Amino acid sequence: MQILNNPNKNQWSEILKRPTQTVGDIEDIVNRVFSDVRKEGDKAIAKYTERFDNVILDNHTITSNELDAAAANVPIALQEAIRLAKQNIEAFHHAQKTTRIEVETAVGVTCWQEKRPIQNVGLYIPGGTAPLFSTILMLAIPAQLAGCKEIVLCSPPNKEGHLAPEMLFAAKLCGVTKIIKVGGIQAIAGLTFGTETIPQVHKIFGPGNQFVTVAKQIATKFGVAIDMPAGPSELLVVADDTANAAYVASDLLSQAEHGTDSQVVLVSTSKNFLHKVSEALEIQVKSLPRRAIAEKAIANSKLIYMEHDVVALDLINEYAPEHFIICCENEDFYVQGIVNAGSVFIGNYTPESAGDYASGTNHTLPTNGFAKAYSGVNLDSFLKSMTFQKITQEGLKNIGPAIELMAAAEGLEAHKNAVSIRLKDIFNY
Amino acid sequence: MQILNNPNKNQWSEILKRPTQTVGDIEDIVNRVFSDVRKEGDKAIAKYTERFDNVILDNHTITSNELDAAAANVPIALQEAIRLAKQNIEAFHHAQKTTRIEVETAVGVTCWQEKRPIQNVGLYIPGGTAPLFSTILMLAIPAQLAGCKEIVLCSPPNKEGHLAPEMLFAAKLCGVTKIIKVGGIQAIAGLTFGTETIPQVHKIFGPGNQFVTVAKQIATKFGVAIDMPAGPSELLVVADDTANAAYVASDLLSQAEHGTDSQVVLVSTSKNFLHKVSEALEIQVKSLPRRAIAEKAIANSKLIYMEHDVVALDLINEYAPEHFIICCENEDFYVQGIVNAGSVFIGNYTPESAGDYASGTNHTLPTNGFAKAYSGVNLDSFLKSMTFQKITQEGLKNIGPAIELMAAAEGLEAHKNAVSIRLKDIFNY
- The DSSP line for B252-308 is HHHHHTT-TT-EEEEEES-HHHHHHHHHHHHHHHTT-TTHHHHHHHHHT-EEEE-S-
Q: Which residues of B touch A130 (CB under 8 A)?
A: 409-412
Is B219 found in the same domain as B292? no
One domain, residues B206 and B237: no
Determine contact, residues B363/B342, Cβ cutoff 8 Å.
no
Catalytic residue among A322, A352, A363, A404, which? A322
pLDDT in tens, A330-340: 999 999 999 99
Pair B382, B117: CB distance under 8 Å: yes
Answer yes or no: do A356 and A414 share one domain: no
CA of A180 to nearest chain B CA: how many angstroms apart?
20
Q: How many cross-chain Cβ pairs, A to B, lie less than 8 Å apart?
A: 417
Average predicted confidence (pLDDT) for chain A: 94
Look at residue A1 and tell me whether its pLDDT is greater than 80.
no
DSSP A9-71: GGGHHHHTPPPP---HHHHHHHHHHHHHHHHHTHHHHHHHHHHHH----S--BPPHHHHHHHG
A167 and A258 both lie in a single domain: no
A295 is catalytic: no
CB contact under 8 A, A284 and B417: yes
Sheet of strand B120-124, all strands in order from the earlier edge strand to the far edge: B178-181, B150-155, B120-124, B203-205, B225-226
Q: Give the model's pLDDT for residue B203.
A: 98
pLDDT tens per residue, range A129-180: 778 999 999 999 999 999 999 999 999 999 999 999 999 999 999 999 999 9
Taking the C-alpha atoms of residue A268 and residue B15, their distance in angstroms, rounded to an integer, is 62
Contact between A403 and B353 under an 8 Å Cβ cutoff? The reply is yes
First to last CA, chain B: 83
Phi, psi of B237 (to 5 degrees): -115, 135
For residue A229, the model assigns a pLDDT of 87
Beta-carbon neighbour count of residue B300 at 10 Å?
Answer: 13
Same-domain pairing of A250 and A168: no
Assess if residue A350 is contained within a domain: yes
Please indicate whether, in this complex, the C-beta atoms of A409 and B78 are within 8 angstroms of each other.
yes
Who has greater pLDDT, A95 or A210? A95
CB contact under 8 A, B419 and A380: no
Q: Which of A252-256, A259-263, B206-210 has the lowest mean pLDDT?
A: A259-263
Choose, out of A82, A357, A383, A404, the residue to mutate when testing the contact with B (most B CBs < 10 Å): A357
Distance from the A50 Cα atom to the nearest Cα atom in chain B, whole angstroms: 25
Q: Give the pLDDT of chain B (429 residues) as one tens digit per residue.
A: 778 898 998 888 888 887 666 666 788 999 999 999 999 999 999 999 999 999 999 899 999 999 999 999 999 999 999 999 999 999 999 999 999 999 999 999 999 999 999 999 999 999 877 789 999 999 999 999 999 999 999 999 999 999 999 999 999 999 999 999 999 999 999 999 999 999 999 999 999 888 999 999 999 989 899 999 888 889 999 999 999 999 999 999 999 988 888 889 999 999 999 999 999 999 999 998 888 888 888 888 899 999 999 999 999 999 999 999 999 999 999 999 999 999 999 999 999 999 999 999 999 999 999 999 999 999 999 999 999 999 999 999 999 999 999 999 999 999 999 999 999 999 886
User: Which H/E stretch holds residue B331?
Assistant: helix B331-337
Residue B165 is predicted with a pLDDT of 96
C-alpha A33/C-alpha A27 separation (Å) is 10
Do A200 and A251 fall within a single domain? no
Asked if A340 and A315 touch (Cβ cutoff 8 Å), the reply is: no
From chain B, the residues in CB contact with A383 under 8 A are 375
Domain membership flag for residue A311: yes
Cα(B395)–Cα(B381) distance, rounded to whole angstroms? Answer: 34
Mean pLDDT of A183-203: 97
Identify whether residues A177 and A59 lie together within a single domain: yes
Interface probe with A: pick from B353, B364, B382, B399, most Cβ of A within 10 Å: B353
A144 in the same domain as A112: yes
In a domain, A94, yes or no: yes
> Choosing among B92, B216, B394, B425, which should be mutated to test the A contact, i.e. which has the most A CBs within 10 A?
B92
The 3-class secondary structure across A309-347, one letter per residue, is: HHHHHHHHHHHCCCEEEEECCCHHHHHHHCCCCCEEEEC
Nearest Cα residue in chain A from B291: A414
Q: Chain A residue with minimal CA distance to B382?
A: A373
The CB-based long-range contact list for B139-143 (8 Å cut-off, 24+ gap) reads B139/B205, B139/B206, B139/B364, B139/B377, B140/B170, B140/B171, B140/B174, B140/B175, B140/B176, B141/B86, B141/B89, B141/B90, B141/B93, B141/B174, B142/B93, B142/B362, B142/B377, B142/B378, B142/B379, B142/B381, B142/B382, B143/B175, B143/B205, B143/B382
Contacts of B67 (CB under 8 A, 6+ apart): B168, B171, B172, B179
User: Can you give the pLDDT at residue B2?
Assistant: 75
CATH number for the domain including B253? 3.40.50.1980
* Residue B148 resides in a domain: yes
Predicted pLDDT at A21: 60
* Nearest chain B Cα distance for residue A167, angstroms: 10
pLDDT attached to residue B329:
96
What is the CATH classification number for the domain harbouring B415?
1.20.5.1300
E strand or H helix that includes residue B104: strand B101-106
- Our measurement of the distance from residue B364's CA atom to the centroid of its chain's CA atoms, rounded to an integer in Å, reads 3
pLDDT digits over B232-271, tens only?
A: 889 999 999 999 999 999 999 999 988 888 889 999 999 9
Shared domain check, B9 and B45? no
| Catalytic choice (A166, A323, A352, A404) | A323
Confidence (pLDDT) at A24: 66
The model's pTM is 0.96
Taking an 8 Å cut-off on Cβ atoms, the answer to whether B410 and A349 are in contact is no
Last residue of a domain, which of B202, B229, B256? B229
Domain boundary among A229, A257, A275: A229
Give the annotated binding-site residues of B for NAD(+): 124, 186, 209
CB within 8 Å: A388 and B348:
no
Q: How far apart are CA A214 and CA A408, in angstroms?
A: 45
Sign (positive or negative) of CA dihedral B290, B187, B367, B261 = positive
Q: Are A122 and A245 members of one domain?
A: no
| Cα dihedral A267→A320→A85→A248 (10° resolution) | -10
Give the gap in angstroms from C-alpha B161 to the nearest C-alpha of chain A: 19
Cα atoms in the Cβ-side hemisphere of radius 13 Å centred on A335: 17
Which residues partner with A205 through β-bridges? A123
In angstroms, the CA B47 to CA B60 distance is 12
Report yes or no on A34 lying in a domain.
yes
Note whether residue B262 is domain-resident. Answer: yes
Could you give phi then psi for residue A18, rounded to 5 degrees?
Answer: -85, 160
Domain extent at residue A296: 2-19+232-360
Q: Which residues of A touch B391 (CB under 8 A)?
A: 347, 349-350, 354, 359
Q: What ipTM describes this predicted complex?
A: 0.96
Q: How far apart are CA B358 and CA B362, in angstroms?
A: 9
Chain A residues inside the 8 Å CB shell of B406: 78, 81-82, 85, 133-134, 357-358
Q: Which of B105, B356, B413 sits opposite A91 (nearest CB)?
A: B105
Indicate the burial class of B218 (C-beta count within 10 angstroms; 0-12, 13-18, 19 or more).
Answer: buried
For residue B284, the chain A residues in CB contact (below 8 A) are 417
Strand order in the sheet with A150-155: A178-181, A150-155, A120-124, A203-205, A225-226
Asked whether residue B85 is assigned to any structural domain, the reply reads yes
In chain B, whose CA is at the least distance from the CA of A344? B388
Sign of CA dihedral B25, B28, B30, B32: negative
Please tell me the predicted confidence (pLDDT) of residue B13.
84
A270: distance to nearest CA of chain B, Å?
22
Q: Any idea which residues of B carry the catalytic annotation?
A: 322-323
Which residue among A204, A229, A254 closes a domain? Answer: A229
- B383 occurs within a structural domain: no
Q: Total domain count for chain A?
A: 3
Cα B151 from Cα B132, distance rounded (Å): 17
CB contact under 8 A, A254 and B405: no
pLDDT tens digits for range B180-210: 999 999 999 999 999 999 999 999 999 988 8
Strands B109-117 and B383-391 come out as antiparallel
Are residues A68 and A173 located together in one domain of the fold?
yes
Q: Give the integer Cα–Cα distance in Å for A38 and A142.
A: 29
Determine whether the interchain pair A254/B414 forms a contact, defined as Cβ–Cβ distance below 8 Å.
yes
Chain B residues with beta carbon closer than 8 angstroms to that of A95:
101-103
- Inter-chain residue contact A95 with B116, CB threshold 8 Å: no
Nearest CA to CA, how far is A349 from chain B (Å)? Answer: 6
Query: Residues of B with CB below 8 A from A113's CB?
Result: 92, 96, 378
> Is residue A27 domain-shared with residue A8, that is, in the same domain?
no
Residue B292 phi/psi, 5-degree rounding, is: -60, -45
pLDDT at res. A133: 97
Interchain proximity B417–A254, CB inside 8 Å: yes
Q: Which residues of B are less than 8 Å from A166 in CB distance?
A: 409
- Predicted confidence at residue B261, as pLDDT, reads 82
B14-26 pLDDT, tens digit per residue, is 888 876 666 667 8
Measured CA to CA, the distance from residue B312 to residue B238 in angstroms comes to 8
Decide if B92 and A82 are in contact by the 8 Å CB cutoff. no
